[in-house]
């Protein structure tokens, strides 16, 4: 899957395209974006025109012939492919750094383990039996919370065994680390939230030091901390504890999706 953005260097771009018309600039940029998503563009005038907002075929082919190369698999822009290779290399470095950062010692043997693949803990069926409660016994505060708790496959504590997940300690750590940095504080534990926290505890972040590293890593992201520009009138996004422990969001953080180079 392609990164949702690619770098555009104004000086380099304008140096290569000074003689293009406004229409040709539009065609060039639209085709760059389409190629970033799809890869090499097929040598099909009809499809190329559609991706270029129905620009005249003459303009489309002029842009391609001057700034692209036709290879066996389609039209390729060399500079775009260089940036694609850089993005792939960066993604691999980010993944390696995250695995290294979140390595947690296995206390019984001294062997180091790393975070398992995301989602593997969320495929287990929920235990239909009631689970032991911690001191804070808050039922789902809405119908959506109740629905989520039974539909996403959150892990429940084994019947007759104490729940080992220290929910309140995790909440306190979040509030001290991320809440103090301006992210939303967690004030209430619903069963759905506890289920996701239990999943991350059992097969993801492990002991509290792993959670601390995870929270500190979140604070390194401009997007997750509300530092990125937004559409006019819209408040910036700030991640909450509830949001970061959901399986799909945890996986994206794990993959470095929200962290720039």
172 and 211 Cβ atoms separated by less than 8 Å: no
- What band does 28 get if pLDDT is binned at 50, 70 and 90? very high
Query: Within this chain, do residues 139 and 31 fall inside the same structural domain, yes or no?
Result: no
Examine the domain organization and report whether 109 and 82 are in the same domain.
Answer: no
- Any domain includes 260: no
pLDDT for the residue 56: 95
123 and 247 together in one domain: yes
For residue 206, what pLDDT is reported? 74
Q: CB-based contacts of 81: which residues, under 8 Å, 6+ apart?
A: none
Q: Does residue 137 sit in the same domain as residue 242?
A: yes
Buried b (16+ CB within 10 A) or exposed e, 145-178: beebbeebebbbbeeeeebebbbeebbebbbebb
Residue 104 has pLDDT above 70, yes or no: no
Same domain flag for 139 and 23: no
211 and 118 assigned to the same domain: yes
Most confident of 101-115, 158-172, 203-217: 203-217
pLDDT of residue 68: 95
Give residue 254's pLDDT band: very low, low, confident or very high (50, 70, 90): confident
The answer to whether residues 174 and 202 belong to one domain is yes
- Are 131 and 240 in a shared domain? yes
The pLDDT confidence band at residue 124, using thresholds 50, 70 and 90, is very low
| 91, part of any domain | no
What pLDDT score does 71 carry?
93
Q: Same structural domain for residues 183 and 110?
A: yes
Residue 154 lies in a domain: yes
pLDDT band at 235 (very low <50, low <70, confident <90, very high): confident
Residue 131 has pLDDT above 60, yes or no: no
pLDDT of residue 158: 53
Q: Is residue 112 part of a domain?
A: yes
Q: Report the pLDDT averaged over residues 208-230.
A: 87
Where does a domain end: 52, 86, 120?
86
Residue 134 domain-assigned (yes or no): yes
Angle between helices 57-67 and 22-38 (to 10 degrees): 70
209 shares its domain with 142: yes
Choosing from 36, 61, 86, the residue where a domain stops is 86
Domain annotation covers residue 3: no
The residue among 107, 242, 243, 224 whose CA lies nearest residue 167 is 242
How confident is the prediction for the chain on average, in pLDDT?
A: 77
Domains of the chain: total: 2
> Is the domain of 144 the same as that of 239?
yes
Burial (CB < 10 A; 0-12, 13-18, 19+), residue 219, is middle
In the listed set 86, 110, 128, which residue is the last one of a domain according to the structure? Answer: 86
Chain segment 14-27, per-residue pLDDT in tens: 998 999 999 999 99
Task: Domain of residue 79: give its range.
Answer: 10-86
Same-domain pairing of 18 and 57? yes
Sign of CA dihedral 191, 194, 200, 202: negative
Q: Please report whether residue 97 resides in a domain.
A: no
Q: pLDDT digit string (tens) for 40-77?
A: 999 999 999 999 999 999 999 999 999 999 999 999 99
What separation in angstroms does the CA of 17 have from each of 14, 62, 192, 249?
A: 5, 12, 54, 40
Per-residue 3-state assignment (H helix, E strand, C coil) for the chain: CCCCCCCCCHHHHHHHHCCCCHHHHHHHHHHHHHHHHHCCECCCHHHHHHHCCCCCHHHHHHHHHHHCEEECCEEECHHHHHHHHHHHHHHHHHHHHHHHHCCEECCCCCCEECCCCCCHHHHCCCCCCCCCCCCCCCCCCCHHHHHHHHHCCCCCCCCCCCCCCCHHHHHHHHHHHCHHHCCCCCCCCCHHHHHHHHHHHHHCCCCHHHHHHHHHHHCCCCCCCCCCCCCCCCCCCCCCHHHHCCHHHHHHHHCCCCCCC
């Amino acid at each position: 899957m392609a990164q949702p953005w690619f770098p555009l260097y104004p000086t380099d771009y304008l140096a290569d395209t000074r003689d293009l018309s406004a229409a040709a600039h539009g065609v060039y940029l639209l085709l760059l974006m389409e190629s970033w998503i799809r890869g090499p563009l097929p040598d099909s005038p009809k499809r190329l025109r559609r991706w270029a907002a129905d620009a005249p075929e003459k303009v489309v082919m002029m842009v391609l012939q001057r700034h692209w190369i036709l290879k066996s698999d389609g039209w390729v822009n060399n500079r775009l492919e260089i940036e694609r290779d850089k993005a792939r290399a960066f993604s691999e470095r980010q993944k390696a750094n995250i695995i290294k950062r979140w390595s947690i010692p296995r206390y019984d043997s001294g062997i180091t383990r790393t975070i398992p693949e995301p989602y593997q803990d969320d495929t287990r069926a929920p235990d239909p039996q009631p689970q032991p409660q911690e001191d804070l016994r808050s039922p789902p505060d809405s119908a959506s919370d109740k629905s989520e708790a039974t539909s996403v496959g959150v892990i429940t504590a084994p019947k007759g065994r104490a729940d080992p997940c220290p929910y309140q300690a995790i909440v306190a750590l979040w509030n001290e680390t991320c809440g103090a940095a301006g992210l939303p504080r967690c004030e209430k534990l619903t069963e759905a939230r506890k289920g996701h926290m239990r999943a991350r505890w059992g097969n993801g972040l492990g002991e509290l030091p792993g959670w601390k590293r995870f929270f500190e890593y979140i604070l390194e992201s401009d997007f997750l901390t509300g530092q990125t520009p937004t559409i006019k009138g819209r408040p910036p996004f700030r991640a909450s504890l509830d949001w970061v422990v959901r399986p799909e969001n945890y996986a994206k953080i794990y993959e470095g999706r929200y962290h720039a180079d």
